[in-house]
Chains A and B, each alone.
Chain A
Amino acid sequence: MAITTEAHSADLLLLAEEAVERALSLGATDAEAVAIESEEFGVNVRLGQVEQLTESGSRAIGLRVFFADDAGSRTASTSTSDLSQQGLTHIIESAVALARVTGPDPFAGLPERESFGSNDPFAQHLYFNDVDAIPAAERIEMARRCEAAALSFDTRIQNSSGADFDASSSRRIMVNSRGFSGEYRRSYCGFSVTPIAQDASGAMQRDFWYSSARTAKLLDSPEVVGRIAAERTLRRLGARRVATQRCPVVFPAETARGLMGNLLAAADGDSIYRNASMFSGKLGEQVAGDNITMIDDGTMVFDHALADGTSIRVGGFGTAPFDGDGLPTRRTVVIERGVLKSLMLNTYTARKLSMQSTGKASRGLAGAPGIGGGNYFLEPGAATPEQIIADIPNGLYVLQTMGHGVNLVTGDYSVGASGLWIENGELAYPVEQITIAGNLKDIFRNVVAIGNDLEFRGSGAVPTVRVEGMTIAGS
């Protein structure tokens, strides 16, 4: 494996095409290659000083090959960061050799020719070159300003885990032997800060806040982000425990996203066909309250107003022109008024279920495509977050959940939590070292209020939700 600079002058698309053609010439009946190129910048500033600065780029290629006969397709995949001719030869020959040891699977294989397609990547507005153009000094300064705003907010904040600024751009190429060839670039920039507050007893709490965007034009002010992080941290100081009880639980947007995101995880075609999901066999049935509508949409483009009165169109964090199988992304209503309407399917899981793919294939460099959505959201309700808690005499407002105690086979849900205690309709005091537990099948039916505060800060957005009947375990 000799490493040379040759690969840097060769075009990635040509390399991907070459990999596919050479796999076919070695007898593969189909082949598919993915090539990824990315540039990465990251800085961490702590207590005003730069602590870590990273700047690098990387390239890699992944290949899948298929050998079809009457019994089905044998398939294998390989990947490498060595883009020399020797590196390429190695992954092609290894993939072909490995495929021979696998078994024929009647459902394996590339999608049908007529189903391929791509939305126009330029109309999706995923790449902005201003992200690469921000000078390093300015990136460092934004992190520094953000942390300074948090540290100067209150004397109880004297320490911090630091502020980060990250910027990256990446290019993704996919080609296959059935005529598909697609490519897109995406940009990202963002910063965050994690202040630490300490009270008179010496007890410490941390929290964080952030801003991220595809273009620097849409980043929030570092001072605003620093102030919000400080407020979020301070409100956790002096946290106590509460007694074990059943009471209403309110999940604001930041924690509601994880809870309600389980609706899509349970609709994952891979779990469905294995009977490994509580939604297996439930297509067309009521699986949640009739106030629940959950949508996955890989095509979202947002209009953002800018300070100078103009507006800008920017693709969502989960937006892409095509999915990991080379099918166009799309909008899918997964849960409509509580009824499981569609599943999260890639080509393989769709064939297993005798259905059509819903364009949710996610493909890394290695391995077969898995399932991954685009942007997702829960349709908002009419109530403000204040109205949602106003009639709760005693309840929990969840600021953070901890751990992985979610079982999508049974729906059993048990996670650690910290938050604010609701007393007589108001956020009264912080609580911690408690758990919240229930079963998702019940939780999704017991959402008694949904907020009007839908805001996309990442690829998924869920407004405030209030759930009845969960158990809190504490002292």
Chain B
Amino acid sequence: MAAAPNLLHSETLDHKRYFFTHLGLTDRLLERCLGEALSAGGEFADLYFEAVTSMSLGMDEGIVKTAAQGISVGCGIRVLSGERTGFAYTDDLSPERLLKAARTAALIANGPQTQRVQGFTETKTPSLYPVAGAAADAEVGAKLKLIERANKAARDFDPRITQVRASINDELRRILIAASDGTFASDTQPLARLNVSVIAKDAVNTARGTSGGGGRVTLDFFTGEKSPEHFAREAARTAILQLGAIAAPAGEMEVVLGPGWPGVLLHEAVGHGLEADFNRKKTSAFAGLIGQQVASSKVTVVDNGTMPGRRGSLNVDDEGNATQETVLIEKGILRGYLSDKLSSRLMNMPNTGSGRRESYQAIPMPRMTNTYMLNGEDLPSDIIKSVKRGLYAVNFGGGQVDITSGKFVFTASEAYLIEDGVVTAPVKGATLIGNGPEALKYVSMVGNDLALDEGIGTCGKAGQSVPVGVGMPTTKLDRMTVGGTGH
């Protein structure tokens, strides 16, 4: 362990070096840009440099049909003045263009310069994920083998699988953040995802199935337990299952959520409502509820950006702060919000390192990382047994929330009836709806089988998409509305 600090230091240097050697940045240029950004009286300014290389390979109908590569380089410059944010970006990193963008952002303030640029202090970053070498050109052959294996495994699963699409998408994002308060941070963030999508057809019905996973990982992740075959069989199994699904029930009933991806419930029901910007503006149904009971005492929910290799994890957030584990709900009591620099300053509360942005073209805001519920003490089998008539939902598509009214939905993609304590027939996809500040009060049993999702989540807010993770143990809600058509 003694060698660890050195290792971290050298990697920190490596993240930064790319921008200085390949993109021509210098300390002097960063200081000049920040000085220009503060020239009209702004209180704070930051520069966010980003260089992303992404690649997508897809196999479809047994042919490698898709191969695409993209490069995006640019800088976003932000100036804060009270509650005001001025912002400009440029995809041309020449000093002239950077200084012009800084002048544009500066104009949010209106007066003489009052703040000076502080000397930079480099944020020490952990190493939550592997740093791949150059953009993964050399690995194209290995990626093709992965999607070929997925294609074969899905087709071999069952003759009723008629269409298979397998793809692998990965990117390497390099960022460098320099701010007038002395913040200086850099990071290199890998992200990979393998996806399988199938169509199953029998004499009567057609159904789809999808599966996928990954994280901030290198390709060797897919050589272990999370193999292409794992995802392919999962997609095929779901599609075959749906061929025989009956109508989902309609109305309020007991609902048991399986472990893992059903944690999207937490993301929608409470996560967004606890982002500090909505609470600063008092537009969230959770505004003013800190210290109050918002869930049953069996519920503890955290947001944790420090889990190694996870899709939602970050060594530093997009404002250069270290990420952390933040307790949102502790034994049912609302404990805190997710904040960034602006909201923590205006609300006089700790910065939780939750400032994230989709790209250099977007303004950062408080976002989730990996959001999950901690284990309880119940056995999953006891939870099922306790239900007389209800729904057992083990996989979901997306969800959505109206943070002002608190109403949220999430759509089950694999669910079953529970009748007299036994899981019975599979049902068709159905949307579940609830009220955020109330829904978790009906949690009556929490399992001991916490799992995180496979690494597929993308969260959208104000037009910006960022990768996230969710998770939960098997959980029983005594009341939830299920939007089916049956009885």
Contact = CB atoms under 8 A, between A and B. Distances in A.
B255 to A, nearest CB: 12
Contacts of A76: 67-69
Contacts of B74: 58, 81
B424 interface: no
B64 A101 contact: yes
Contact of A79 (B65, B71, B93): B71
Interface string B465-477: 0000000000000
A181 to B, nearest CB: 23
Contact of A366 (B68, B205, B252): B68
Q: How large is the interface on B (under 10, 10 to 19, 20 to 34, 35 or more residues)?
A: 35 or more
A81 B484 contact: no
A435 B433 contact: yes
B108 A410 contact: no
A437 B430 CA distance: 8
B317 to A, nearest CB: 19
B82 to A, nearest CB: 8
B434 to A, nearest CB: 7
Interface stretch (B211-219, B230-238, B381-389, B403-411): B403-411
Contacts of A7: 92
A135 B72 CA distance: 30
Q: How large is the interface on A (under 10, 10 to 19, 20 to 34, 35 or more residues)?
A: 35 or more
B396 to A, nearest CB: 10
B183 interface: no
B64 A102 contact: yes
B67 A404 contact: no
Contact of A432 (B22, B67, B97, B405): B405
Contact of A205 (B162, B201, B404): B404
Interface stretch (B116-124, B281-289, B319-327, B331-339): B281-289
B96 interface: yes
Contacts of B399: 403
B398 interface: yes
Contacts of B422: none
A161 to B, nearest CB: 5
A78 B57 CA distance: 12
B72 A412 contact: no
A155 interface: no
B410 A403 contact: yes
19 contacts: A54-B87, A56-B88, A58-B89, A77-B68, A80-B71, A80-B72, A81-B91, A99-B67, A204-B404, A276-B163, A365-B70, A366-B69, A368-B66, A405-B430, A409-B207, A416-B400, A435-B430, A473-B484, A474-B251
Give 7 nearest A-B pairs by CB, closest first: A435-B483, A416-B409, A403-B409, A244-B251, A405-B431, A76-B67, A473-B250
Given A50-B108, A59-B91, A414-B430, 17 more contacts: A52-B84, A58-B89, A60-B72, A77-B67, A79-B71, A101-B64, A101-B67, A102-B65, A366-B70, A367-B68, A402-B431, A402-B433, A403-B410, A416-B433, A437-B248, A437-B483, A473-B433
